[in-house]
Structure 1
């Protein structure tokens, strides 16, 4: 009988210790695994937000861009081809396309590796007196200088756009503003921004830029 009592008491004590140990391990493992799950979620969300914003088109002029993805002037279609080819399908940029062809810059723009283009609309060219525009179009050297002044190395996102940037023409262009409101060289407003092409980011503007003399 004494042996039985000793054994039972011992078994109960050991069982109690085992339960306490298991309970402690479970609590520790639960507490230890919950915290990392909560702390790792926030950085992922924070990191993805700027990337998503960098892909968004903005500006009132974007409403004139075709919405049918099958249309070669749509955002989806332009994103698949290089910049000069993309511009040829955009209804806002037919005058610019003619000027680029006249200056023999199609291949140079299409083969450039990562550029930003400030693209004047047809209405922007319409602000130039017809006689002056025809004179520029007939002068390949002057035309090329003006057009390359609209091109900057690197695909600038909206977050990188504000500031002074060296152009392919050699001069510097200055962009002011932020968010969805930008002005180039103090006079040209961005009416449709962050248009993606295969090799360029395009910012459509309402005024033709002129190189500083």
Structure 2
């Protein structure tokens, strides 16, 4: 009787030991599964911020140049505001380009510029026009044909990014214009006009603001 009891106790102890071992294994498996799931979640989470971080640098659409600090930080004349409007409308909100906008209106080129699919515009500032003596400027503004030729000499078909803008390009006036330089340093035309703020995006054009009026 005593021997039977001892044998039963031993069997019971073995069963309990086996059950505990299996439970422990199950806990380990669950822990491993949870760890793997966490690892996978962590990997997926870390990928997303990396993509977000890389996106702006891949666009290459940032304006550049010392003159860019003169562009309003917000409103219709800001980089964001100009990006949503066609080029003539966008320029009308920019405080640096009032004389240019007035000249474009006088020449009747607003619809032509706004309606084009893609352009690059070398846009002289008000200070650039101020370099021309008043009598000469008034004479040009009064001669629509001459004014149109001068203004379209500042416009090239297609949106030229900074890595494409250097070289010789045909203008809407039917002649050519040469851009020299690289990176963020460019000069335009025989006048060697400096780009003050380049790669400004509008809805249908890329704009390079220059410090000198370009002559055909």
TM range (shorter): 0.7 to 0.9
Alpha-carbon separation, structure 2, partners of 1:92 and 1:59: 13
Alpha-carbon separation, structure 2, partners of 1:172 and 1:66: 32
**Match of residue 199 from structure 1:** 204
**Match of residue 54 from structure 1:** 61
**Match of residue 208 from structure 1:** 213
Q: Which runs of 5+ in 1 are unaligned?
A: 1-44
**Match of residue 72 from structure 2:** 66
Q: Which runs of 5+ in 2 are unaligned?
A: 1-52
The structural deviation recorded for 1:185 is 1.2
Residue 120 of structure 1 pairs with residue 127 of structure 2? no
Q: Give the alignment of 1:1-213 within 5 angstroms.
A: 49-51=57-59, 53-63=60-70, 65-69=71-75, 72-186=76-190, 187-211=192-216
- What's the TM-score once normalised by structure 1's chain length? 0.74
Alpha-carbon separation, structure 2, partners of 1:171 and 1:185: 11
The structural deviation recorded for 1:50 is 4.7
Size of the aligned set, in residue pairs, is 207
The structural deviation recorded for 1:54 is 3.0
The structural deviation recorded for 1:46 is 8.8
- What's the TM-score once normalised by structure 2's chain length? 0.73
Q: Deviations over 1:3-50 (max 9, x none)?
A: xxxxxxxxxxxxxxxxxxxxxxxxxxxxxxxxxxxxxxxxxx999745
Alpha-carbon separation, structure 2, partners of 1:198 and 1:163: 24
Alpha-carbon separation, structure 1, partners of 2:126 and 2:101: 10
Q: Deviations over 1:68-113 (max 9, x none)?
A: 24xx111111100000001100000000000000000000000000
